[in-house]
Amino acid sequence: MLPLADHNPRQTTPVVNIVLVAVNVLVFLWEISLGPQIEPVLSNVAFVPARFWYMPGALLPNIVTMFVSMFLHGGWLHLGGNMLYLWIFGDNVEDELGHFRYLVFYLAAGAGATLLQAVLMPGSDVPNLGASGAIAGVLGAYFVLHPRARVVTLVPLFFLFPLVEVPAGLYLLFWFLLQFWMGSSSLATAPGAAGGVAWWAHVGGFIAGVLLVFLMRPSRRPAPSYRIS
């Protein structure tokens, strides 16, 4: 199932969300410009779990790569899928949190996602890259904030591709359970296996998003039931 849009009006312009999409696209264009050097460069600037755990003297550089990796992607499809989810769900989360809180939330969720992947795959020397973990945090926040919003979803059904409106809570719960199931299956994979998807980063990001949104959402004062003259 592929989300295409949501029916969920907002009150503010999602400035930070637009900037995040733009930065991700610009960084990917930089990656393409590297040509044959792309693999050695990405292996240095992307987050590597084994390097994080077994090179304690490089803690600060490893933390830096954790955040740099949130803006790197492995291909046009990877970038396009991530930006689609961010575009659909990020604006309403920013609307609820406010611009600055949303930026902090996004980076914190991405860090939480990366750390869970590193904890469960500590021996992996495969560079982890992509905005998926941070965006999973956005999905977790949306799940809490707008479970009844309608998501226009493309559903592949044999040779048909009908558009169906699905409650966001149901769609995102299904998405999370799929990530958890795939992540559980990946635990049987050799730690140093190349390629694949960092499923546990998706799980960790979603959980981080659910928790962080409760901590970071501004308190809303009830409207007064009287008028001051």
Cβ atoms of 175 and 147 closer than 8 Å: no
In a domain, 163, yes or no: yes
Q: Which domain holds residue 176?
A: 2-187+198-216
Residue 33 class from Cβ within 10 Å (0-12 exposed, 13-18 middle, 19+ buried)? exposed
Q: How far apart are CA 93 and CA 138, in angstroms?
A: 7
In a domain, 181, yes or no: yes
> Half-sphere exposure of 222 toward its Cβ, with a 13 Å CA cutoff?
3
Of 131, 138, 152, nearest to 96 by C-alpha is: 138
pLDDT tens digits, 53-70: 887 777 788 889 999 999
What is the predicted pLDDT for the residue at 121? 85
Residue 102's contacts (CB-CB under 8 Å, 6 or more residues apart) are: 16, 17, 90, 93, 94
How many domains does the structure of the chain reveal? 1
CATH code of residue 205: 1.20.1540.10
Q: How far apart are CA 111 and CA 205, in angstroms?
A: 8
CA 184 to chain centre: 19
In 8-131, which ranges are continuous DSSP H helix?
Answer: 15-33, 38-45, 49-54, 59-68, 76-97, 99-120
In a domain, 29, yes or no: yes
What is the predicted pLDDT for the residue at 225? 46
In a domain, 76, yes or no: yes
Q: What is the pTM of this model?
A: 0.89
What is the predicted pLDDT for the residue at 190? 54
In a domain, 35, yes or no: yes
In a domain, 86, yes or no: yes
Low-confidence ranges of the chain (pLDDT < 50): 192-194, 221-229
Q: How far apart are CA 117 and CA 120, in angstroms?
A: 5
Q: How far apart are CA 180 and CA 19, in angstroms?
A: 30
Q: Are strands 150-154 and 163-167 parallel, antiparallel or unpaired?
A: antiparallel
The enclosing H or E element of 154 equals: strand 150-154
